[in-house]
């Protein structure tokens, strides 16, 4: 059974750096064809894809946020970490991590519960 859980601060100040951790079980990020992505959703708004990391360490980023994002994986700990620099109140959102695999054409098939991050001074 695949599960994912996001963790990190619930409140960050403007200009600070946000670090979110996705801890997962039920699969390995060293398995060919597997990946973990991050998607966010501002309150009352649509989903927005942020970044993705594959088993082979390929790391596509959202073009509009690429300069602020870094995604890394720790295969031994079954964790994926997303950092976002220079946080702004418009970055207030629920942040989700999700599993993806080649068998489903890399659709996000299993999602974490999400973690709400508020950006405010």
Partner 1 sequence: QSVLTQPPSASGTPGQRVTISCSGSSSNIGSQTVNWYQQLPETAPTLLIHSNNQRPSGVPDRFSGSKSGTSASLAISGLQSEDEADYYCAAWDDSLKGWVFGGGTKLTVL
Both structure tokens of 87: 């946080």
| Residue with smaller CB distance to partner 1, 16 or 49 | 49
Contact pattern for partner 1 over residues 24 through 63, marking x by CB under 8 A: -------------x-x------xxxx--x-------xxxx
95 binds partner 1 (CB under 8 A): no
d(CA 107, CA 97): 13
| Residue with smaller CB distance to partner 1, 62 or 79 | 62
Instruction: Say which residue the tokens 């970044």 belong to.
Output: 51
d(CA 94, CA 115): 5
| Residue with smaller CB distance to partner 1, 13 or 47 | 47
Burial grade of 13 (CB within 10 A; 0-12, 13-18, 19 or more): exposed
């Amino acid at each position: 059974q695949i599960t994912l859980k996001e963790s990190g601060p619930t409140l960050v100040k403007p200009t600070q750096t946000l670090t979110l951790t996705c801890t997962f079980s039920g699969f390995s990020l060293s398995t060919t064809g597997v990946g973990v992505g991050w998607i966010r959703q501002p309150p009352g708004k649509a989903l927005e894809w942020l970044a993705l990391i594959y088993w082979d360490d390929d790391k596509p980023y959202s073009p509009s946020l690429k300069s602020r994002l870094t995604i890394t994986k720790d295969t031994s700990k079954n964790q994926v970490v997303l950092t976002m620099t220079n946080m702004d109140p418009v970055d207030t959102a629920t942040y989700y991590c999700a599993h993806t695999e080649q068998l489903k054409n890399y659709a996000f098939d299993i999602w974490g519960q999400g973690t709400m991050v508020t950006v405010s001074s």
